[in-house]
Structures are given as structure tokens and as C-alpha cells.
Amino acid sequence: MLEVTHKFKSFDEYLLYNNNSEKFYELFNGELIEMPPESGFNVEIATFLLIRFALLLGHRRVRGQGLELEVRGEPKNRYPDLTIIREEHIQKLSKRNTIRLSMSPPLLVVEVVSPGELQRERDYIAKRIQYQDCGIPEYWIVDPESQSILVLELKGNTYTEVGSFSGDDLVLSSGFKDINLKVDEFFNKI
């Protein structure tokens, strides 16, 4: 078994690593960086969305924070708070819940912004660039601080803003027109 201090030469080598831990690690410059647990509030938000999307699409297409995405840049992987996968992913993810760059991208990734400037920058800038680069058609940034949801849609190779929704706004999504979600309803449910 490899030590956590082992320097991984590739993402494939990292995927072979198993320390039998339930913890999440990002692969940064060949080294594993343990991810801190999410706040309870962020988990509540992600769970609310998970339930809403599961009712719309079925539970097999909706994945919580345990889904791992291979991305370009550093770190080499991300664990979105919520991911809507394609039908073709269901079987491929049965052994390891990882979407590789060689696979079709998921349809939607949702991140719930954690408190702090570093976390805001990570979700609004770094992850946006990485998810855009992966070709993920839609990216939602749920911001508990401002009680808003920013919906980004991939046009060509660039995310464009569909809208920043708050209050009694209905969240608009080209990929999920039937989600029927008002922002204040969403935050008031929590």
C-alpha cells in the first residue's frame, strides 16, 4: 500500500491507490491533499437539490459530493457538491465513482460556496475554468452568503451567464427546464 506522502506520477497511478479511507483527496502536484468536510449548511443545500433533481430525473442520474471529476490543471480532480450524470455514466461509475476526461462530461455540476475568500475564488474562478475546460454544459454556483444561484451555460468553449437568480426568481436552466425552482423557496426550505 502506498503512503499518503507518495508522489504520484500520473492520474492513472493515483486511481490505483487505495488507502481504504472514506476521506476525499485532491491530487495537487502529484501529492494528495485531504479535503476538509463540508459544513452542515452546505450539505443541507446540496441534499435539497439532490432530492429535487432525483424527483425529476431519477436517483441514478444524480450524484452527491462523492463523485470525483478528473480535470486539467491543478488539482487534477474535483468533488462537486452535486453532479447530474448522463445515462451512459451509470454503468461506467459502478466500480469507481470517477468521471475521467476521456469520458463524456456530466450534464451539470453544482458547487455550494463555502465561507471565506479563498473558497469563493475557488468556486467562482478556478472551478469555473476547469469545468468549462471539461466541456460541462452547465455549471451552477449556489451562494448561501448572497442567497443567489449563478447559472452558467457553455456556449462554444466558454461559459456565459444565463443569470444570477435571487429572491422569488425562478432558476432558468436550458438543460433542466422542468426543475421549477424558485430561489427563495430553495433557501427557505433549509
pLDDT for the residue numbered 62: 98
Distance from C-alpha of 175 to C-alpha of 106, rounded to nearest angstrom: 12
pLDDT for the residue numbered 125: 96
pLDDT for the residue numbered 3: 42
Sequence-distant (≥ 6) Cβ neighbours of residue 128 within 8 angstroms: 139, 141, 152, 159
Q: Give the number of C-alpha atoms closer than 13 A to the C-alpha of residue 173, restricted to the C-beta side.
A: 23
Sequence-distant (≥ 6) Cβ neighbours of residue 16 within 8 angstroms: none
pLDDT in tens, 121-172: 999 999 999 999 999 999 999 999 999 999 999 999 999 999 999 999 999 9
Q: What is the CA radius of gyration of the chain?
A: 16
pLDDT in tens, 36-57: 888 888 899 999 999 999 999 9
First to last CA, the chain: 42
**pTM score, two decimals?**
0.90
Q: Could you please report the per-residue DSSP string of 68-132? A: EEE-SSSSSEE--SEEEPPHHHHHHTTT--EE-TTSPPPSEEEEEPPSSHHHHHIIIIIHHHHHH
**Cβ atoms of residues 163 and 126 within 8 Å:** no
Q: Give the number of C-alpha atoms closer than 13 A to the C-alpha of residue 155, restricted to the C-beta side.
A: 8
